[in-house]
């Protein structure tokens, strides 16, 4: 067995497992039960981990890589709030200052 993925986010780990399953790759989720130990153990030793059989490692790593590339899409450019003039980073859909929604014409490629 080999670890192909680890994340502090159990939802992400579950998503990876589902993707692997869709690709016909059996996997094990480890450390699921260690979540309560965070604070006592080094944090990344508590992360949920996905393990697969040695024969599936190459395919599993490809699935994980494609997922991470999809998640790594760069955020849009910073935008200026039309309501209050505040500058907001591209990943935010609302103005952090006044809560106005980002205009559709800004930050969409």
Q: Does 100 bind Zn ion (CB under 5 A)?
A: yes
> Which of 68, 97, 101, 108 forms a contact with Zn ion (CB under 5 A)?
97
Within 13 Å and on the Cβ side, how many CA atoms surround 9? 4
How many residues touch Zn ion (CB under 5 A)?
Answer: 8
What residues between 67 and 86 interact with Zn ion by CB under 5 A? Answer: 81, 83-84, 86
Helix (H) or strand (E) holding 6: strand 2-6
Q: Does 106 bind Zn ion (CB under 5 A)?
A: no
Residue 100: count of CB within 10 angstroms of its CB:
14
Helix (H) or strand (E) holding 50: strand 49-52
Stretch that binds Zn ion, among 16-24, 26-34, 61-69, 92-100 (CB under 5 A): 92-100
Stretch that binds Zn ion, among 7-15, 16-24, 34-42, 99-107 (CB under 5 A): 99-107
For 34, the 3-state DSSP assignment is helix
| d(C-alpha 62, C-alpha 68), whole Å | 10
Please state the closest distance from residue 80 (CB atom) to Zn ion, in A: 9
List of residues contacting Zn ion (CB under 5 A): 81, 83-84, 86, 95, 97-98, 100
């Amino acid at each position: 067995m080999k670890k192909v993925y680890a994340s502090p986010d159990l939802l992400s780990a579950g998503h990876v497992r589902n993707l692997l399953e869709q690709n016909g790759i059996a996997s094990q989720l480890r450390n699921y039960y260690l979540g309560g130990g965070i604070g006592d153990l080094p944090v990344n030793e508590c992360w949920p981990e996905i393990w697969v059989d040695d024969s599936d490692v190459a395919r599993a790593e490809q699935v994980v890589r494609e997922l991470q590339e999809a998640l790594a899409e760069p955020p849009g450019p910073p935008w200026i709030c039309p309501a209050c003039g505040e500058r907001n980073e591209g990943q935010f859909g609302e103005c952090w200052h006044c809560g106005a929604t980002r205009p559709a014409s800004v930050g969409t490629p």
